[in-house]
């Protein structure tokens, strides 16, 4: 059985300001750095062998803190990037026009062909996230990788493992530096292949963490 840990990056300046990031970037806040250290401490003794991360700054910074605790090097994986939000990247949520809010909502409300202009569909996101996860199957036997990615990206990945379409209504909350785990296994009582062991665990954090919209 292959166990793969999934971590969302720490809180960023734009998370706190309710600004859309997508594949744009902003630095971790002091709280985000603290969250990264806490999740690093949580997995320090789990036997992590590879820390693989989205190549955006907020994930790479989070990943480096985890890798330092686990004695690993950081491996960049662009397929783990967040959903591309097109023309809405860098925009403040509270300042969107009515049409822009419709575009944004289509990414989370179950619209099959939802796409922000110049951005990605959830189906496109799911394909590259699953490819990145499946690549872990090529690691040496005994590996235990940890992937650092983003809220929408990880939520989409976990939802599709559960059998939902990539564009399904978004119902999984993954807060900053939450920890999830998926396993690749064969079982008499579960579907063969990827299964979800845990999702969105924040028990290692001692302060409330944000999701994309809630404080």
Was 60 annotated as part of a binding site?
A: yes
Mean pLDDT of the chain: 96
- pLDDT tens digits for range 85-99: 999 999 999 999 999
Domain ranges, ordered by start, for the chain: 7-201
Picking from 27, 18, 23, 17, the residue whose alpha carbon sits closest to that of residue 61 is 27
Query: How far is Cα 139 from Cα 179, in angstroms, rounded to an integer?
Result: 21
Is 14 a known ligand-binding residue? yes
Q: What is the percentage of the chain residues whose pLDDT exceeds 70?
A: 98
61 is catalytic: no
Compute the distance between CA of residue 178 and CA of residue 46 in angstroms, rounded to an integer.
Answer: 16
The catalytic residue among 50, 61, 82, 212 is 82
How many other C-beta atoms can be found within 10 angstroms of the C-beta atom of residue 93? 15
Identify the CA nearest to 115 among candidates 104, 126, 129.
104
- Predicted pLDDT at 197: 98
- pLDDT value, residue 152: 97
Share of the chain above pLDDT 90, in %: 96
Q: How far apart are CA 84 and CA 124, in angstroms?
A: 10
Is residue 84 a known part of a binding site?
A: yes
* Fold of the CATH domain 7-201: Rossmann fold (3.40.50)
Would the pTM of this model clear 0.75, i.e. be above it?
Answer: yes
């Amino acid at each position: 059985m292959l166990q793969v840990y999934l971590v969302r990056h720490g809180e960023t300046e734009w998370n706190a300001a309710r600004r859309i990031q997508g594949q744009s970037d902003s630095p971790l806040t002091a709280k985000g750095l603290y969250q990264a250290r806490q999740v690093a401490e949580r997995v320090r003794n789990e036997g992590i062998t590879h820390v693989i991360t989205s190549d955006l700054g907020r994930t790479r910074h989070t990943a480096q803190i985890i890798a330092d605790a686990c004695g690993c090097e950081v491996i960049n994986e662009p397929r783990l990037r967040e959903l591309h939000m097109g023309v809405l990247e860098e925009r403040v949520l509270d300042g969107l026009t009515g049409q822009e809010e419709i575009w944004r909502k289509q990414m989370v409300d179950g619209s099959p062909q939802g796409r922000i202009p110049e951005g990605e569909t959830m189906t496109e996101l799911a394909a590259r996230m699953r490819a990145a996860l499946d690549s872990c199957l090529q690691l040496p036997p005994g590996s235990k990788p940890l992937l650092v990615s983003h809220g929408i990206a990880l939520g989409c990945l976990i939802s599709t493992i559960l059998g939902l379409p990539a564009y399904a209504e978004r119902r999984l909350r993954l807060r900053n530096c939450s920890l999830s785990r998926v396993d690749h296994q064969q079982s008499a009582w579960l579907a063969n292949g990827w299964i979800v062991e845990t999702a969105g665990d924040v028990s290692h954090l001692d302060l409330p963490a944000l999701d994309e919209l809630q404080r």
